[in-house]
Structures are given as structure tokens and as C-alpha cells.
A and B are shown apart, each in its own frame.
Chain A
């Protein structure tokens, strides 16, 4: 089966739109796994009525992004014995050919490219040669078992959210895997989780994001998204050394 993994926390209306575009993937034989991270906005009740969706319901504030991805990929690769999975945010909409094109591209890790404007999403011409870019977009990525088994799970020392994707990008490079995006747009209502979050949730996410950025800097010696970060991918991969000192965890007020 062609698995699609989508962690979610609230934002039910966006999730509904996202799921509809997942169901419409023309590759067929789609299985959708929703990880419901303690939603409180009716998502849980709605999910109960969606009988085709595989579901994991996590109480409380839910799992971190890294933990959600790891548990889902463990399930797909180890329990379902599949070769690949498409991992997406809950605030995206995909063209029907997205999964098929990412799979046909053939890389062990490949992403589509998020656009914010619906017109651009709908009208962007399709490029059959898929021009590639070395800037993966972790809001919609296809990962194969070979990649996950070589690089390993996402670093769960990145609590809650943010920076786990930069870290995986660097680690893939260290293992000789060039993560790429192809010129295949998807609609991304970016950062809606934090924009629509309660004040308490927003504070929690932002506080931990700051700690995650510091952990990333400590681990790699550069800050994510900077020119120095980009330079990491211009150099030959140095010997790989995993960080052993996890960051502090934001405990809230």
C-alpha cells in the first residue's frame, strides 16, 4: 500500500481538506495514518467517523513531531513492511499526482515544494523533467525504507517541534544522501498549527523551538537556515558523530 502519514493537533478544517486530497491520489491503494496529538477542537470526534483512516490517538499535548514521524515510519517500514511512505503536514493540499510523481522520481528522500498562493498551486505548469533543488521541504516528503534504515530515526531530543528537519537534512548528507525537492507544488497553509494554537500551546511551542535551535547549534556548530548551514552541504561529509547531550526541555510555566 502507499502510506501517507499525517500528524495533527487541532486545525480540523485544514485537516479535512488535506485528507480529501490524500484520498484523491491517483497512485491508488492509499492508506492514511493520522496521528492525533491530543486535539481538542472536534478532530477526535470527526476522526471516529472516518472509517478508512488508520489512527493513533495520543492523549495530553501529544507527541513531538520527531516522535510522531518515527512511530509512524516504524509502523510503515517494520510492521507493514512497505518500501516507502509520504509524510505530510496537516495544513497542506496536494495535487492528485503528487505521490506518484515523488515515487517515480526515484530518490530515497524527495520532497515537493510548498507554495502559499492557491492560484500558483493550481496554475503552476507541470515540469515533466522535474528540475531538482537541494532544498528539501519537510512538510511533504517521500522517504524510503533504505534512507530511514541508514540515517536512523529523527532525533527525538528535538522536543515538540522545529529543527528536527534541519537535523535530518544534515544527517542524510553525512550519510551521502542528497535530499532534494522537485518542482512539484503543493499548497501549504504554512505554520497554521502555531497560528491557530491557544496562547498556552503557542508559548509552549515557541519556548521549546528556541531550545531546539540552541541544541541544533550545539550539535552542528551552525544555525539552521543560514549561509553557514548551506555551507555544510558544500563540503565533503566529515566523520559522523552523534550528539550525546540532549537539550533542556521546556516544561511550561
Chain B
């Protein structure tokens, strides 16, 4: 069952040695959410999920990879083919600014939510199914926990905790429910 609570006030501790920044992590996060909300059609479901993903990816922590790379979704070339020409940090793209990175995250989440649910093994494609296009490999029927295990397998549990703490969504909720 999905629940949405008000966002917790606790903010993650900044990385050791991090210089002071003009915006608090919470303010930075609000800034990302605002930019996401301004982008495209600002689908509130996608914005809500994007916000939680950015937080769980430590975007609010100066010095984190997502913060340094203006990549709150830690997106790769494969997840954002339209920006595949950008430089990468490991496999994560380095966006020129947070506007571009936030918009890309919003698009990424929108693709997940518009993917068809994973079919049961062996299920034939329904007649009239449109030809699939290059897409992200996650489906809206994945639970938060399952998504984390695929999205960030090395630290899935910690990621889920941050996501659920921030959004108030249960870890066994589906992505589509979390966005509802």
C-alpha cells in the first residue's frame, strides 16, 4: 500500500571536507524539484518520483557524484540517448548544468512510467502492440525495492531507505503507485 507523507525535514550530512555552499541541501533539492516542475509538461507523478530519486542519489550532498555532475538521476548514455555525446564520469553523464540534468531525469522517469508493465514470461504481445523503441529497462510495476536492486545494485538498501524516508512511500510499493 502506498502512502505519501510530508517530506521529512532531516537532511543528509554533507560529505567530509565539503566547502560551504550558498544553498542548503534542502534548498538545492527544492531547486531541482522546481526545475523539474517547470520542465516539459511537469507530470506531477514523474516530478514526485524524480524528486525522490534525486534525494536518494545524494544530489543534495555537495561533493556527491550526482551533485558534481549535475546529474541528479545518475543517468547513463543508455538512459539518456539524446545526450549521449556528453562526457561521462564513470558511466554517468556529466551535464553542463542542473537544468539539463533535472530535465533529463524527468524524461527518464516519464519513460519508466510510460513503459508497459513487464509481461509474464511467455506471454505473447497483445495484438496491435506498438513496436517498442529504445527505452529504459525499468517498468512501472517494479517495486521501489526491485527498482533499487536494478538501478543501484551495489547499495540498494541504503538507496531505498533514503528514498522511502524522503517520499514516505513504502519500499514494496510499485513505482506507478508511488507516483500516484
Interface residues of A (CB under 8 A from B): 1, 31, 33, 38, 40, 44-45, 47-49, 51-61, 71, 75, 79-80
Known: A38-B125, A47-B137, A54-B81. 14 other contacts (CB 8 A): A44-B118, A44-B137, A48-B138, A51-B91, A52-B77, A55-B134, A59-B119, A59-B125, A60-B124, A61-B124, A61-B125, A71-B131, A79-B81, A80-B81
* Bound Cα distance from A77 to B146, whole angstroms: 35
- In the assembled complex, the CB of A54 is this many whole angstroms from the nearest CB of chain B, namely 4
Most B C-beta atoms less than 10 A away, residue of A57, A58, A80: A57
* Bound Cα distance from A52 to B123, whole angstroms: 27
* Bound Cα distance from A210 to B66, whole angstroms: 53
Across-interface contacts of B121 in A (CB, < 8 A): 40
* Bound Cα distance from A102 to B142, whole angstroms: 41
Across-interface contacts of B136 in A (CB, < 8 A): 55
Interface residues of B (CB under 8 A from A): 76-79, 81, 84, 91, 116, 118-119, 121-125, 129, 131-138, 149-151, 153
B91 and A57 form a contact (CB under 8 A): no
* Bound Cα distance from A83 to B95, whole angstroms: 26
* Bound Cα distance from A38 to B122, whole angstroms: 8
Across-interface contacts of B91 in A (CB, < 8 A): 51-52
* Bound Cα distance from A57 to B129, whole angstroms: 13
* Bound Cα distance from A79 to B91, whole angstroms: 21
Residue of A nearest to B136 (CB): A55
A59 and B129 form a contact (CB under 8 A): yes
Q: Is the interface of B mostly helix, strand, loop or mixed?
A: loop
Across-interface contacts of B123 in A (CB, < 8 A): 59-60
Across-interface contacts of B149 in A (CB, < 8 A): 49
* Bound Cα distance from A214 to B134, whole angstroms: 33
A52 and B137 form a contact (CB under 8 A): no
- In the assembled complex, the CB of B129 is this many whole angstroms from the nearest CB of chain A, namely 6
B132 and A59 form a contact (CB under 8 A): yes
Which listed residue, B79, B122, B150, touches A45 by the CB 8 Å rule? B150
A54 and B78 form a contact (CB under 8 A): yes
Most A C-beta atoms less than 10 A away, residue of B136, B137, B149: B137
* Bound Cα distance from A109 to B121, whole angstroms: 37
* Bound Cα distance from A40 to B135, whole angstroms: 19
- In the assembled complex, the CB of A70 is this many whole angstroms from the nearest CB of chain B, namely 11
* Bound Cα distance from A71 to B137, whole angstroms: 18
Which listed residue, B129, B134, B137, touches A48 by the CB 8 Å rule? B137
Q: A59-B116, A59-B119 are in contact. Are A51 and B125 (CB under 8 A)?
A: no
A56 and B125 form a contact (CB under 8 A): no
* Bound Cα distance from A51 to B75, whole angstroms: 9
* Bound Cα distance from A28 to B124, whole angstroms: 38
Residue of B nearest to A32 (CB): B78
* Bound Cα distance from A38 to B126, whole angstroms: 13
A31 and B84 form a contact (CB under 8 A): yes
A55 and B78 form a contact (CB under 8 A): yes
Across-interface contacts of B124 in A (CB, < 8 A): 59-61
Across-interface contacts of B122 in A (CB, < 8 A): 40
Most B C-beta atoms less than 10 A away, residue of A1, A47, A54, A61: A54
Residue of A nearest to B92 (CB): A51
A1 and B84 form a contact (CB under 8 A): yes
* Bound Cα distance from A54 to B78, whole angstroms: 4
**What are some 16 contacts across the A-B interface (CB < 8 A)?**
A40-B122, A48-B150, A48-B151, A51-B79, A54-B134, A56-B135, A57-B135, A57-B137, A59-B124, A59-B125, A59-B129, A59-B132, A60-B124, A60-B129, A71-B131, A75-B134
B78 and A51 form a contact (CB under 8 A): yes
Which listed residue, B76, B81, B125, B151, touches A52 by the CB 8 Å rule? B76
Across-interface contacts of B135 in A (CB, < 8 A): 55-57
Across-interface contacts of A61 in B (CB, < 8 A): 124-125
Across-interface contacts of B153 in A (CB, < 8 A): 49
* Bound Cα distance from A31 to B80, whole angstroms: 13
Q: A40-B122, A44-B118, A51-B91 are in contact. Are A56 and B132 (CB under 8 A)?
A: yes
